[in-house]
């Protein structure tokens, strides 16, 4: 088996119910505490104790209202609604940790790149370089309508717009301020040398941004780039931009196939395969013995909601599964929702989909004692050629506490998870450098903004 390092992220969301649907009802679950600072500081301390690389914060801007043509199933079950802005919990978690990274989900469809660039630079400063950005193009019509659109922008146009969005933020982060622009000369009264701050003069199809970035360079300049699109267009976008690719599918075989395609796309884009980490989602249920773990699973099943699961799937796929018989198989239909998930569910019955998604979402459900969980994770790394995992909770903070106390020591003993952190930024933790690789497209925009004489 492989002994390459295993990267661990916690998969979280500032909401009442994330991927294990209606388990907020469980007596040991504290998900409703997501509104409290203490919820997030406690989680951050647990994860840093377990030497997690980061916490991946999901987000949506709308309500899941496709299933039964109603928002009620989502609202009744607390299925990703109510949901708070994840950006505000990051400084809270950063204040009680020194090494944990933070992946913030934000949409290129709705956030303007000029103001978004400032938000991310601010977070990178406040966390001392521990910020990442999970790029999404959004998929909920309910969000589009509340932003002022008649309906969601088409799938491929969202990615076309995202490509230009990336060009704008790259110019702001990488090219607007030279490395030595900020001098803080108290004797001369000069904080910044104006000759080293440049307007980006962007005039594109979707965005016009003539001026300069209003933040000085942060430790990483550009945050670590996460991306989760697995459609052909999404893979192309990830191959061009992402440093950490998040894949998720209903089976190990399908995960392997997706990863294989990603690896090829990355090389075809002209980047080094070593510049991108690929992680997948798992939902571990662990206890000291197998029997106890199985009993825990059966206990959790008493609380899950198929209604909530199908509401989530409706938002993902744009298909109202209430219109189908529970034993009817789902066929792939091309639309403007999440195409890769539609492909993953093709051939499954509605009931099978509900069972799959109700506990852990798309994450593979693995149940057992610590050695069994570690064996499965190591097998996935080898078979599917992945670099690590997004760990999904069943109940919180219990699932994370169990994983850290029971599984992490086994992984450390096997040499898969480190025992101590290295100092530095999130990117340094992942790749051994603070800045993007020289061949990354973000570095190329400097030539169009910074004077040639400076770049020589």
The mean per-residue pLDDT over the stretch 411-425 comes to: 96
Determine the pLDDT at residue 190: 98
pLDDT at 335 > cutoff 60: no
Q: Residue 6: pLDDT band by 50, 70, 90 thresholds?
A: very high
Strands of 43-159 (E only): list them. 54-58, 101-107, 131-136
pLDDT of res. 338: 53
Q: Among the listed ranges 124-138, 253-267, 397-411, which one has the minimum average pLDDT value?
A: 253-267
Q: What is the pTM of this model?
A: 0.93
Report how far residue 424's alpha carbon sits from residue 416's, in angstroms, rounded to the nearest whole number: 20
**What six digits make up the tokens of 253?**
């075989």
For the cut 70, the answer to whether the pLDDT of residue 337 exceeds it is no
pLDDT at 274: 81
Give the integer Cα–Cα distance in Å for 62 and 75.
12
| pLDDT recorded at residue 456 | 43
Query: How much is the pLDDT for 308?
Result: 95
312 CB-side CA count, 13 A: 27
Q: Average per-residue pLDDT in the chain?
A: 91
Give the residue-averaged pLDDT of 173-192.
97
Do 78 and 311 meet the contact criterion of CB atoms below 8 Å apart?
Answer: no
- Considering 100-104, 317-321, 421-425, the range whose residues carry the highest mean pLDDT is 100-104
Condensed to tens digits (0 to 9), the pLDDT of residues 370-391 reads 999 999 999 999 999 999 999 9
The structural domains of the chain, with segments of one domain joined by +, span: 7-290+363-455
Residues 6+ apart with CB under 8 A from 360: 19, 20, 281, 282, 283, 392, 394
Q: Can you tell me the distance from the alpha carbon of 140 to that of 316, in angstroms, rounded to the nearest whole number?
A: 8
pLDDT at 455 > cutoff 60? no
CB 391 within 8 A of CB 22: no
| Closest listed residue to residue 361, CA positions, set 341, 375, 346 | 341
Helix axes 232-241, 155-170, angle to 10 degrees: 10
Q: Which CATH number fits domain 7-290+363-455: 2.60.40.1260, 1.10.10.60, 3.20.20.30, 3.40.50.300?
A: 3.20.20.30
pLDDT tens digits for range 13-48:
999 999 999 999 999 999 999 999 999 999 999 999
Q: How confident is the model at residue 339 (pLDDT cuts 50, 70, 90)?
A: low
Model confidence at 341, in pLDDT bands (50, 70, 90)?
low
Q: Is 237 exposed, middle or buried (0-12, 13-18, 19+ CB in 10 A)?
A: buried
Which has the higher per-residue pLDDT, 142 or 77?
77
């Amino acid at each position: 088996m492989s002994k390459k390092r295993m990267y661990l992220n916690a998969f979280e969301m500032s909401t009442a119910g994330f991927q294990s649907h209606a388990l907020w009802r469980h007596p040991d679950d504290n998900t409703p505490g997501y509104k409290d600072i203490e919820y997030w500081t406690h989680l951050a301390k647990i994860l840093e104790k377990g030497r997690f690389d980061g916490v991946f914060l999901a987000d949506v801007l709308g309500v899941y209202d496709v299933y039964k043509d109603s928002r009620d199933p989502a609202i009744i079950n607390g299925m990703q609604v109510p949901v708070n802005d994840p950006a505000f919990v990051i400084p809270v978690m950063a204040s009680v940790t020194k090494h944990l990274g933070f992946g913030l989900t934000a949409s290129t469809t709705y956030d303007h790149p000029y103001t978004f660039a400032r938000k991310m630079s601010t977070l990178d400063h406040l966390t001392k370089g521990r910020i990442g950005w999970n790029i999404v193009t959004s998929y909920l019509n309910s969000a589009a309508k509340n932003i002022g659109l008649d309906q969601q922008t088409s799938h491929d146009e969202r990615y076309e717009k995202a490509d230009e969005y990336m060009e704008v933020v790259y110019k702001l982060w990488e090219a607007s301020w030279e490395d030595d622009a900020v001098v803080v000369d108290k004797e001369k009264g000069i904080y910044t040398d104006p000759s080293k701050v440049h307007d980006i003069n962007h005039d594109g199809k979707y965005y016009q941004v003539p001026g300069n970035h209003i933040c000085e360079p942060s430790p990483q300049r550009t945050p670590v780039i996460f991306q989760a699109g697995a459609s052909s267009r999404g893979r192309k976008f990830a191959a061009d931009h992402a440093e950490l690719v998040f894949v998720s599918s209903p089976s190990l075989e399908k995960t392997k196939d997706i990863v294989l395609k990603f690896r090829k796309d990355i090389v075809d884009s002209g980047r080094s395969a070593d510049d991108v980490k690929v992680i997948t989602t798992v939902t571990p249920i662990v206890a000291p013995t197998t029997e106890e773990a199985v009993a825990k699973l059966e206990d959790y099943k008493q609380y899950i909601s198929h209604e909530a699961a199908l509401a989530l799937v409706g938002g993902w796929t744009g298909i109202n599964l209430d219109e189908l018989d529970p034993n009817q198989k789902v066929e792939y239909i091309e639309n403007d929702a999440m195409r890769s998930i539609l492909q993953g569910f093709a051939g499954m019955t509605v009931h099978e989909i509900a069972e799959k998604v109700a506990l852990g979402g798309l994450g593979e459900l693995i149940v057992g004692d610590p050695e069994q969980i570690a064996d499965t994770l190591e097998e996935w790394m080898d078979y599917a050629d992945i670099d690590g995992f997004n760990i999904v909770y069943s109940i919180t903070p219990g699932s994370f506490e169990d994983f850290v106390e029971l599984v992490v020591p086994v992984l450390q003993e096997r040499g898969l998870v480190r025992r101590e952190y290295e100092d530095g930024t999130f990117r340094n933790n992942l790749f051994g450098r603070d800045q993007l690789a020289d061949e990354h497209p973000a570095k190329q925009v400097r030539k169009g903004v910074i004077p040639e004489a400076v770049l020589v």
